[in-house]
Copies of this chain bind each other. A is one copy, B any other.
Amino acid sequence: MQQEVEKDVRRNKEQTKQRFLDAVEDILLTKGFAALKVNHIAKTAGLDKKLIYKYFGGTEQLLDDYIRTKDFWSNVKGNKISDDITDGGHKFVEKLLLSQYDYVAKDKAFQKLLLWRLTEQRASFKKLTDAQEANGELLLQSISDPYFGPRAGQFRAVMAVIIAGTYYLDLYAAVNGSTFCGIDLETERGRDQIKRALSFLLRSTYNDK
């Protein structure tokens, strides 16, 4: 018969693996990805490093595992495609854009991951990126492509610039002295200015159709 209840918490493989994954995030947030070394991770997790080799195969695989388990796009998926997309998804995309700008500002782990991805080459990053692209492709194909028709390519390029802009501004705001083009990205006022700019740029693009 099954004995699912209350095993010794200290002798549980899955739980131990999770403690390593938690330690990775902890270090990532507090020390940055440069500090993600076996000894440090093991010490942070309060466990023996040997287990990292046993369970994951090594630090690299542990990190890959961490990256893989992070589904940062669940929040985007949560934004169901509005019923009313007669406007070519204008309102929907705007909402998505602004909420994404705020979301990235709050989620420090996501910021670190964005940065990390730009810094190192890693197979698991490619997977993450591909998943993101597939996700975006779905949106573009179902919403904007039909609306913009032959100008769909131009719309995509505009979206690329704008989304890239929000990413960079969020990353930039997280470091000290975060004034960009004279706008203080850490204040509510500054962020509002950026949001209005995002809305304006999107509106211009839709109006230009």
Contact = CB atoms under 8 A, between A and B. Distances in A.
Interface string A172-203: 10111101111100000000011011101100
A193 B156 contact: yes
A159 to B, nearest CB: 5
A160 interface: yes
B133 A197 contact: no
A137 B180 CA distance: 10
Contacts of A183: 153, 156-157, 160
Interface in A150-181: 153-154, 156-169, 171-172, 174-177, 179-181
Given A169-B160, A183-B157, A177 B126 contact: yes
Interface of A: 32, 34, 115, 117-121, 125-126, 129-130, 133, 136-137, 140, 153-154, 156-169, 171-172, 174-177, 179-183, 193-194, 196-198, 200-201, 204-205, 208
